[in-house]
Each structure stands twice: as structure tokens, then as C-alpha cells.
Amino acid sequence: MKKKILVIEGDGIGKEVVPQAVKVLKKVAEKFGHEFEFDNALMGHCAIEATGEPLPEETIEKGRKFDAILFGAVGDPKYDNDPTLKVRPEQGLLKIRKTFELFANVRPIKLYDELLGASSLKPEVLSGSDIVFFRELVGGIYFGERARDDNKAHDTMEYSVSEVERIARKAFEAAMLRRKKVTSVDKANVLDCSRLWRETVTKVAEEYPEVELNHMYVDNAAMQLIKDPTQFDVVVTGNMFGDILTDEASQIAGSMGMLASASMGNEIALYEPIHGSAPDIAGQGIANPLAAILSAQMMLTLSFGMKDEADAIDNAVAQVLKDGYRGPDIKDAATPEELVVGTDAMGDLVVERV
């Protein structure tokens, strides 16, 4: 099969982890007789430096011609330290999501048994956790009307019935292929937006009578996630709640460096690790590339329908962990020093096992 993949490394560790995922995809193409064509494009701080825009038109134009997008992360301390800067790397990410209407962000929280000791949570609490988040990605407070003057500011959260319906359907469809349970997370005791969300999800649930639906307030969900993560199967929630809860849930998997995601619309999809540009470790060659590699694995499954190829990556990652290799972010007290590897070496280990 011939496929065109647009690669947007972005900033910080995006430039380190994405090449590892590309390396693995090239190995998969070689092994399974596919032809993957890669091209690069800019987004984020690097794009602002080069063109003045966080998402140059050229990147959008290229995106329209490709079968899928593999993305790293955007962000730079320059902007984090000066919130008054008007042109910002994250605007590129929000704009690409909106341009391609990537409304469903799918984030599997997959726990490898080998990493039970890497989490700050107790192994007996974590064991058996297997959750998929469906985060609404192009609506809610990150996209609502906003304004500020010297002593006041506001951001607006808005959701329409159709926006909630389409993400809810994705979640129920996924639940049908899993353990048939959906938890919808909102703040319906306070927010009107959440009341509309809850009513709409409840209506959509009628189309999926086999799926059990429960509703949970976001504050409770934040607590339940670390108290008893095994109670969750599919979680569906809005943009901001999903952003926060999935970072929290990354601790179930041991590290931000382990979690992949797919941002899907009706046409092209974008695959990215859930982490940011991690300026605290960027340039040191120690970022964990497995989240980026597992994002490429999601691309093979969801965009290209290549199940065996995706399994090859999945099994290779599992085997690397079984063989005892760890990045600095997922090592524990029992990890021998010689098995602690950097970004490039971790990529090579996965390639060898594919």
C-alpha cells in the first residue's frame, strides 16, 4: 500500500521523538512491503521563527494532500514566561485542529504490566486498568469568545447539541467494541453547558442500548481516576476537562512519555503523543519516544487499516519493556543502570523488534 504521511515535528522534544516514530514506520514499510512517503512541515515556535505564523498556510496546504499527519509537540519557554505575547505556538495547534475539524481526540490509557512499578500509584490499584478517553477537541472554552482589559478577562464555554452528539457517537461506537461502558464527565451541577452535554449524551445512549452509561462530575472523576481506575472503560468529555484528566491519567501508564493520541475528523487525522515540548528535558536526548511511536501505531490502525503492521509495533514496544529497557522517566529503583536508554536507543530497540 502507498501512503503519504506529513511529519510535523514542532518544538522541543517533538524534534527528538518524532524521528524515532518515522524510523519505526520505515521499518514497518520495509517489512510489510508498503511505500510510505514522508514530507516535513512547520508548526509552533519554529514556524513563528521561520515565517511569523504558528501555522503557515504551506503546512495547511500540504496537510490537505496527505493521508495522515504525524505530529510531535509545540511550545517554547519564551512564550510560557511571557503570557502577553500575542502570537503563540499553541495557536498553531488549535488552528490545525479547527482547520481539519479534528473534533475527536482519542487517548488510550494503556498500562503495560512491566510498568506497574513506574507509576506513583500502587500496583494493586492500577492493575487491569484499560481506559480510552474521547476528548472533544474543537469546541468548548478553548475556542469560545474571549476578551480582557487591564483588570478583567473572560473566556466562554459553548457547546451545541450537534458538537456533543458527534463525539458521543464516537465514544459509544468504541465502547461497543470494548467492555460496553461509557462514563460521561461534566460539571452539570454548575454549568449550563454541562447540562446540555449530559442531556445530549443521554439521548445518544438510546441508540446504543447494549452500552451502560454513567455520568460523573469532573471533580469526582479526577478523584476516581486515581482511586479506582479499573472502573472506567470509555470516558467521553469536553475539551478542557479532557485535557486535564488525560494528563492525570498518564500517571496510570507511568509517564506522559507513554501516551499516544489520535485527533480525528471526518477526513484526515493527526496523530500525536499527548505530551508537550518538555523544555525541561529538550536537547538532552532523554525524552521517551514510545508515545510518539505508539501514535504512529494508532495511525496504522485508524487511518490505514493495517492491523498486522500496528500489532507489530505494539508487540515490539511490549517486548522492549519485557526485555527490561526503560527511559529515565519510566525506570524504577529495580532498573539496572545499563538498561536505562535515551531517545535514539529506545527507537532503535523498537525497530529491531519490529
Applying CB under 6 A, which residues contact ligand NAD? Answer: 13, 17, 73-75, 80, 90, 93, 255-257, 275-281, 287-288, 291, 329
Minimum CB separation of residue 142 from ligand NAD in Å reads: 12
Minimum CB separation of residue 346 from ligand NAD in Å reads: 10
Considering 3, 23, 62, 187, which one is annotated as catalytic? 187
Minimum CB separation of residue 223 from ligand NAD in Å reads: 21
Alpha helices in 4-88 (DSSP H): 14-32, 45-51, 57-65, 77-80
Q: What element of type H or E holds 1? A: none
Are the C-beta atoms of residues 47 and 92 closer than 8 Å to each other? yes
247 is catalytic: yes
End-to-end CA distance of the chain: 18
Minimum CB separation of residue 15 from ligand NAD in Å reads: 12
Minimum CB separation of residue 206 from ligand NAD in Å reads: 35
Considering 155, 247, 314, 348, which one is annotated as catalytic? 247
> What distance in Å separates the CA atoms of residue 161 and residue 237, rounded to the nearest whole number?
14
For ligand NAD, the closer of residues 74 and 321 by Cβ is 74
Considering 113, 219, 308, 311, which one is annotated as catalytic? 219
For ligand NAD, the closer of residues 287 and 300 by Cβ is 287
For ligand NAD, the closer of residues 211 and 258 by Cβ is 258
For ligand NAD, the closer of residues 129 and 343 by Cβ is 343
76 is catalytic: no
187 is catalytic: yes
The DSSP line for 167-236 is: HHHHHHHHHHTTTSEEEEEE-TTT-HHHHHHHHHHHHHHTT-TTSEEEEEEHHHHHHHHHH-GGG-SEEE
219 is catalytic: yes
2 is catalytic: no
Residues 96-121 as b or e (16 or more Cβ within 10 Å = b): bbbbbebbbbbbbbbbbebbbebbeb
For ligand NAD, the closer of residues 183 and 288 by Cβ is 288
Q: What is the DSSP letter of 340?
A: B
Identify the residue whose cell numbers are 496504522: 300
Half-sphere CA count of 239, side-chain side, radius 13 A = 20
Considering 79, 110, 142, 208, which one is annotated as catalytic? 142
> What distance in Å separates the CA atoms of residue 330 and residue 212, rounded to the nearest whole number?
34
**Residues involved in catalysis:** 142, 187, 219, 243, 247
